[in-house]
Structures are given as C-alpha cells and as structure tokens.
Amino acid sequence: MSNRPDYLNMKQGHAQDAVAEPVDFQQQSGVISHDGRKVLRNTYALLSMTLIFSGVMAAVSVAFNVPHFGLLTLVGYFALLFLVEKTKNSAMGLVSVFALTGFMGLTLGPIISFYSSLPGGSETIAMAMGTTGLIFMAMSGWVLSTGKDLSGWGKTLMVGILVAFVCSLGAFFFEIPALSLAVSAMFIMLMSGLIAYETSAILHGGETNYISATVTLYVAIYNLFLSLLQILGVMGSDD
C-alpha cells in the first residue's frame, strides 16, 4: 500500500494539515545524499593511503637517486590511468590506483632531489607541501560547508586544463621560462578549482566511484604541488 495521503477522501481539516506540513526538499531531492557522503568517506580514506604510498615511493626514488623520467612520465601516467579506468569497478581497481600513485611518486623523486640541492630548497619543498595542504582543505572545506553544486564548472575546467597542458608542452620543448611560470600559475588555479569541483560532484551524485574520485583528487594535488614548487623555487632563487 502507498503511504501517499488520499486528498480526495480525507476530511477537510486533515487535508489542510497535510498541505501545511513542511517538506525537507534537500532530503527529498537527495541533493547531498547519504550515498554521496559514503563515497566521500571512501575517497578520503583511499586518497590518504595513496598519498602516503606515493610519498614513500618518492623517498625511495630520492634515496636511490633515480634519474628524471622525462616524457616517460606522461607515457606511464596515461597507460596506468587507462588501466585504472578499465578496472575501477573491480577489486583490481585498487591495485591499479596504487600502481599509478606509486609510479607518480617515483617520478617525483628526481624533482625533489633537484630542489633539495638548491639553496633553501628544503624550506621551498616544505612550503609547497604546506600550501598544497592548505589549498586542498580550503577548497574542499568550502564545498563541504556550503553544499555548493559546481557541476557548471566542468566544461571550463576541461578546456582550461587542455590549454594549460598544451602550453606546458610548448614550454618544455621550446624552453621558455616565462611560459613555464605562466603555466604553473594556470595549474594552481585550475587544480584548486578541480578539487572543489570533484568534491561537489561526489556530494551531489555526479561521481559515484570512489576510485575515480581518488585519482582525480590525487592528480589535482600532485599538479598543485609541482606548480607551487616551481613558482616558490623561482621566487626563492631571486633572494
């Protein structure tokens, strides 16, 4: 039997009570659903583990003085990203996520070694890490506290990231320092927006797979850290 009130047969007083009863539209529409919060919890748990694992692999890379991966970084990243996409709905997806984040940690080692060798390099790395953490907490905290639906940001972020990626290739091949710094500034803004966008997508049901969500947030954090590291490194070298 349906629990819906019978407006045709109920008495007038009861009908008025039913109409006057307040409705929790947020709960009714499922704007921020229980499932969304569950996916968010799983995402944060997996993200924490992958960041720790990636940090360990970066430390191993530094300890063994692993050389810079160059374009192999992009090849390995896209290959492992494809693997994650294919396995994200199975237990193998967890293995794929750790393979991807572990590989990215290895590629981070030579970069950290380079900045560590510069005057004040350790402070620059620590500042980049701290700023990355603050930005992540600020953007995700903003969405979590306000419940903002940022689904409209998707196309803008996609186009912006594509443009920034193409510009980064140009800066790499043509060795243009000014363009490289501009790209880093673009990535800081874009990755900050991506963190907020993905958090919103999880809460509002736009992203229901915590493995995909983890990879998106990890990539945003990774690029945010590298971009901050480059800009802070240049600023430190001017002192």
Is residue 1 over pLDDT 70?
A: no
Q: Is 68:110 a contact under the CB 8 Å cutoff?
A: yes
What percent of the chain clears pLDDT 90, i.e. is strictly above it?
A: 72
Specify if 15 maps to a domain. Answer: no
Is residue 7 in a domain?
no
Task: Give the residue-averaged pLDDT of 192-199.
Answer: 97
Tokens representing 70 are 């160059």
**pLDDT class of 14 with cuts at 50, 70, 90:** very low
Structural domain including 174 reads 33-237
Average pLDDT of the segment spanning 97-125: 95
Query: Closest Cα to residue 95, out of 64, 53, 40?
Result: 53
Query: Is 17 within a domain?
Result: no
More confident residue, 231 or 71: 231
The total number of structural domains in the chain stands at 1
Whether 235 shows a pLDDT value over 90: the answer reads no
Q: Which of 201, 168, 200, 198 is nearest to 185 (CA)?
A: 168
What's the CA gap between 150 and 218, in Å, rounded? Answer: 19
pLDDT bin (cut points 50, 70, 90) of residue 10 is very low
Q: Is 170 among the domain residues?
A: yes
Q: pTM of the full predicted structure? A: 0.84
How many whole angstroms separate alpha carbon 42 and alpha carbon 6? 42
Residue 180 domain flag: yes
Collapsing DSSP to helix, strand or coil, 130 comes out as helix
Q: Which of 41, 34, 211 is nearest to 140 (CA)?
A: 41
Task: Give one DSSP letter per residue of 149-179, joined into a string.
Answer: --GGGHHHHHHHHHHHHHHHHHHHHHT-HHH
**Distance between CA 196 and CA 58 in Å, rounded?**
26
14 occurs within a structural domain = no
How many angstroms separate the Cα of 171 from the Cα of each of 76, 87, 179, 239?
21, 34, 6, 24
Tell me the per-residue pLDDT of 15-73, one tens digit each, with 9 for 90 and over: 444 344 443 334 333 356 678 889 999 999 999 999 999 999 999 999 999 998 888 99
Classify residue 151: in a domain, yes or no. Answer: yes
Residue predicted with more confidence, 88 or 239: 88
End-to-end distance of the chain based on CA atoms, in angstroms?
Answer: 76
Question: How confident is the model at residue 29, as a pLDDT?
Answer: 37
Q: What is the Cα gyration radius of the chain?
A: 23
- In this predicted structure, the answer to whether residue 126 has a pLDDT above a threshold of 60 is yes
Please, how many CA atoms are within 13 Å of residue 88, restricted to the half-sphere of its CB?
19
Distance of CA 195 to the CA centre of its chain: 5
* Tokens standing for residue 178: 């000014």
Quick check: is 145 in a domain? yes
